């Protein structure tokens, strides 16, 4: 039976074809929304989405669901906690749409400075106002603060340097792959910046980061751009900062953004002349979408041919294991069963296990991450098998 893939979002036709060529049973339903997914998932093995929400109900109804791919960067539209409980892999396509987001950030920067959207609206309404629109600062020599210097932030930096801007970055800190909260220098960075652009993921650490304190640090009349996630900005504090400090803002993301691709929209920002809002289009260029789609197909191909999940985001970063046992052995049936029997009899939980075979298929090496320590007596018993070559046991 063929593996069933559901692509529940816009996706380039050429890459749907490439999936079909992998001998997969592909359903392409770009109009499915959050509430349609629970009824469309029952026999699906692999689900591909962009911003469509994958909620706990979809995950519960996905009896065969094994892999969810976010055809994009941010995975905050997927209920990862629910996926973790059912052992469903979640993967994304990091970096593939970075250039598109950086291009939009630069576009918004120039739009804010030259008031391009207002120029156009006035022209369409038959109004000529060169007097007002001639007043702009220009980007050359301005100080830009990039908040979050990951793949997108770096692309913004390259482009801003080409515009002769003074570029500063505030990175988020990571320790062994885990993000920690460190926004300690914002009090020094923000007061210097003429323009601030946010490129952070939505995490518990970044939620509400741009609050009253941050807006207090910002210069009056400065520009703020957010093409990342709406969660990062406290919108009430932003409205106050706009009023009190004349901060001007361009947002590609905001609270209450519609899930549908077309329809009506209502937001408190609509009546605010200091705010430009675009339609969450950061990643929406053909270049970015092709590159995301290519990566999605690659993830599916790797998974279906070798079981390896590229860009697997919900793998435990640090397991609770405290001990490592490495057993080198002859690659024969029953050797590992002998070792695992001893571990089971002593009620030790194996957190992770990997068995790798040496060239020629004679010897193999099995590495296990364990919750409790293996006693010398147990190691003695393991060594009783003539097929065990060596055993090492260390605290990790
Ligand atoms: C992303 O996280 O990749 C962007 O927000 C793009 O979202 P989209 O795929 O809905 O355009």
284 C-beta closer than 6 A to ligand 1:
yes
Q: Which domains does the chain have, with CATH numbers?
A: 4-95+287-306 (3.40.50.720), 98-282 (3.40.50.720), 323-395 (3.30.70.260)
Nearest CA to ligand 1 atom 11: 283
Q: Mutate which of 10, 32, 69, 74 to test ligand 1's pocket (most atoms within 8 Å of Cβ)?
A: 74
Tokens of 133: 């629109």
Q: What is the pLDDT of residue 318?
A: 72
Q: Are the CB atoms for 332 and 339 separated by under 8 Å?
A: no
Residue 391, pLDDT > 70, answer yes
Q: In sequence order, which ranges of the chain are alpha helices (DSSP H)?
A: 13-21, 56-61, 80-86, 98-114, 116-124, 130-133, 151-162, 186-189, 212-217, 235-245, 286-306, 335-345, 376-383
Rg, Å, the chain Cα set: 26
Q: Average per-residue pLDDT in the chain?
A: 95
Residue-level pLDDT at 179 = 61
**pLDDT band (50, 70, 90) for residue 184:** confident
Ligand 1 in reach of 218 Cβ (< 6 A): no
pTM, entire model: 0.84
257 is catalytic: yes
Q: Are 62 and 217 in contact (CB under 8 A)?
A: no
Structure confidence by residue, pLDDT tens digits, 137-175: 999 999 999 999 999 999 999 999 999 999 999 987 665
Question: Is any ligand 1 atom within 6 A of the Cβ of residue 74?
Answer: yes
- What pLDDT score does 175 carry? 57
pLDDT of 181: 64
pLDDT mean over 319-333: 93
More confident residue, 396 or 122: 122
pLDDT at residue 183 tops 80: no
Distance 289 CA to ligand 1 centre (A): 10
Question: Is residue 283 in contact with ligand 1, taking CB distance under 6 Å?
Answer: yes
Give the pLDDT score at 260.
84
Residue 27, strand partner residues: 6
pLDDT confidence of residue 129: 97
- What is the position in ligand 1's atom list of the atom closest to the CA of 72? 3
């Amino acid at each position: 039976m063929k593996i069933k893939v559901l692509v529940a979002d816009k996706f380039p036709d050429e890459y749907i074809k490439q999936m079909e060529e992998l001998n997969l049973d592909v359903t392409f339903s770009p109009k499915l929304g959050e509430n349609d997914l629970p009824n469309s998932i029952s026999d699906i093995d692999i689900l591909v989405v962009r911003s469509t929400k994958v909620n706990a109900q979809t995950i519960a109804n996905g009896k065969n669901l094994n892999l969810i791919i976010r055809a994009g960067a941010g995975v905050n539209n997927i209920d990862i906690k629910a996926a973790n409980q059912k052992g469903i892999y979640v993967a994304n396509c990091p970096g593939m749409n970075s250039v598109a987001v950086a291009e939009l950030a630069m576009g918004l920067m120039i739009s804010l400075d030259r008031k391009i959207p207002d120029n156009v609206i006035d022209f369409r309404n038959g109004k000529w106002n060169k007097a007002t629109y001639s007043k702009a600062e220009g980007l050359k020599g301005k100080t830009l603060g990039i908040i979050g210097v990951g793949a997108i932030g770096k692309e913004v930096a390259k482009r801003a340097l080409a515009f002769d801007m003074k570029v500063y970055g505030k990175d988020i800190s990571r320790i062994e792959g885990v993000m920690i909260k460190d926004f300690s220098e914002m009090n020094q960075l923000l007061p210097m910046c003429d323009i601030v652009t946010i490129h952070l993921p939505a995490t518990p650490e970044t939620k509400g980061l741009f609050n009253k304190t941050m807006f207090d640090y910002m210069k009056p009349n400065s520009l703020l751009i957010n093409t990342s996630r709406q969660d990062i900005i406290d919108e009430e504090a932003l409205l106050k900062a706009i009023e009190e400090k004349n901060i001007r803002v361009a947002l590609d993301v905001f609270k209450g953004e519609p899930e549908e691709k077309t329809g009506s929209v209502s937001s408190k920002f609509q009546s605010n002349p200091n705010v430009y809002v675009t339609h969450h289009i950061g990643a929406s260029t053909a270049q970015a979408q092709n590159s995301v789609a290519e990566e999605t197909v690659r993830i599916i191909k790797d998974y279906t041919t070798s079981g390896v999940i590229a860009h697997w985001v919900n793998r435990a970063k640090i397991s609770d294991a405290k001990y490592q046992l490495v057993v080198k052995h002859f690659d024969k049936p029953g050797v590992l069963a002998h070792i695992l029997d001893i571990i089971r009899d002593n009620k030790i939980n194996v957190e992770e296990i990997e068995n790798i075979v040496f060239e020629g298929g004679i010897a193999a090496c099995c590495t296990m991450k364990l919750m409790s320590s293996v006693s010398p007596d147990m190691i003695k018993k393991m060594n009783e098998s003539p097929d065990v070559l060596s055993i090492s046991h260390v605290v990790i």
